Structure 1
Amino acid sequence: MRFAWDYTQEPALFTSFAVVFEGPDHLGEEEFESSLWDRVQSLTDKDSWRGQDHDPRVSADPDDPHFALSFGGQAFFVVGLHPQASRPARRFTHPTMVFNLHDQFQMLRGQNRYEKLREAILDRDVKLAGDVNPMLARHGEISEARQYSGRIIEPEWACPYSRTPATEARPDPLAALNSFLGRT
């Protein structure tokens, strides 16, 4: 949340937040994907508990083509990396989640720089893997949730994620426990 809030105060291009996990490093693609969504769900639940609403510029529905994750009121595109990834561009020594702000993509579009950067990324992917990642799509074509883990997703895939609006979110369990114990 701090990263999102800091960005809101001082927007800057090419700013991402990477979370590198110590392990496990042996996860296959489906196991990594499951772990990624477990972590995302946990973060989302905490965001809702803290009263943060989903960024209104994107959908909270993972089946919607305009879906994006939201933390601290900012929309994010997540890139999952791990040692066992089938795509070379998605391999990293440890499981990692890179949070890229959607707002930056809009800034690049506004500066007419987005398409050139996108083409450079696609060219790099071809040089590394021999072809363009078949899961890549533009925002609004299909749900970006299908792209987060980096594995090829089957057409019948169902995203294991849901967002509870902040007004309906269950209480923060730590705050509830502290309240129960009489702590502030």
Structure 2
Amino acid sequence: MPIHQSPLFPWSHKDQAAHNALLLDHIAEATFPCVGAKAAVAKGTLEVLSCNRIDSAWDDVRIHDGLLHFAAAYRADPALFRSFAVVFDEPVTLDEETFERKLWDRIQSLSDKDVWRGQDYDARVSADPDSPHFSLSFGGEAFFVVGLHPNASRPARRFARPTMVFNLHDQFTTLREQGRYETMREKIMVRDEAIAGSRNPMLTRHGELSEARQYSGRAVDPVWRCPFSYQGQAE
């Protein structure tokens, strides 16, 4: 099943096909731990947008357009295992701390555009990055971000291009309601441990600690503070 290119845009990035293939091959690897991503590929519900640089705001309007469309499509058909992946062509030499800064730069810019476009913050989550109930919100839907890049210390977060994968928070809630969340989480953690030699110490359940600590994939210390600040009015 092919990965879907975002249908929003009349033009394509020059590396769209290459980025699609890279991500598809990466997820298809036997050692790739995220069974949710594998399910999204199998169902054809992993949407990919190819962009230029994670250290530039050049494509941020396109990315935000994609998130609004993705959120609206999910509300119209709330099926499980949908993800929106933004694959950047450059730079591929960022260390973990620099990648983390650039990832949060993009998140802040996208959130500011959500405010500018009059989108409400998802009332089911908190806009405070220090809250254990924090999630991002775009187009009124809460999202959890998974960052991937070539120099990630955790093998599960290592990928040939800087990438931001936006996962719908509502899908985690649905899995919990169906009694499937804990089984899937444990399966992912076991697979991750098999390739890394240890369990990821950053992984916590929503409501225990702020999920912001998990986004970049870097192991952060207890005094780490999230650089994100929501500029709108959240309920």
TM-score, scaled to structure 1? 0.89
Q: What is the RMSD of the two structures over their aligned residues, measured on CA atoms?
A: 1.0
Task: Output the CA distance in 2 between the equivalents of 1:155 and 1:107.
Answer: 30
Equivalent AA in structure 1 for residue 132 of structure 2: P
Pick one of 139, 142, 150 that aligns with 1:75: 142
Larger Rg: 1
Equivalent AA in structure 2 for residue 25 of structure 1: V
Corresponding residue for residue 182 of structure 1? none
Equivalent AA in structure 2 for residue 153 of structure 1: V
Pairing 1:96–2:163 present: yes
Shift of residue 132 of structure 1? Answer: 0.7
Corresponding residue for residue 69 of structure 2? 2
Pick one of 90, 96, 106 that aligns with 1:29: 96
Pick one of 178, 200, 210 that aligns with 1:143: 210
Shift of residue 166 of structure 1? Answer: 5.4
For residues 119-162 of structure 1, the C-alpha deviation after alignment (integer angstroms, 9 at most, x for no partner) is 11000111010111110001011100000000011111111111
What secondary structure sits across from 1:83 in the alignment? coil
For residues 14-35 of structure 1, the C-alpha deviation after alignment (integer angstroms, 9 at most, x for no partner) is 1000000001000000000000
Q: Is the 8 A contact 1:52 1:166 kept in 2?
A: no
TM-score, scaled to structure 2? 0.70
Task: Output the CA distance in 1 between the equivalents of 2:72 and 2:210.
Answer: 25
What secondary structure sits across from 2:89 in the alignment? coil
Pick one of 93, 101, 105 that aligns with 1:38: 105
Runs of 4+ in 1 over 6 A off after TM superposition: none
Structure 1 unmatched ranges of 5 or more: 168-184
Q: How does 1:6-17 map to 2 (within 5 A)?
A: 6-17=73-84
Corresponding residue for residue 49 of structure 1? 116
Task: Output the CA distance in 1 between the equivalents of 2:218 and 2:110.
Answer: 22
Shift of residue 12 of structure 1? Answer: 1.1
What secondary structure sits across from 2:84 in the alignment? strand
Cα 1:166–1:47 change in 2 (3 A) is farther
Corresponding residue for residue 201 of structure 2? 134
Aligned residues: 167
What secondary structure sits across from 1:21 in the alignment? strand
Structure 2 unmatched ranges of 5 or more: 1-67
Corresponding residue for residue 123 of structure 1? 190
Query: Which has the higher relative contact order, 1 or 2, with Cα contacts under 8 A spaced 6 or more apart?
Result: 1
Equivalent AA in structure 2 for residue 94 of structure 1: R
What secondary structure sits across from 2:90 in the alignment? coil
Shift of residue 9 of structure 1? Answer: 1.1
Task: Output the CA distance in 2 between the equivalents of 1:113 and 1:155.
Answer: 30
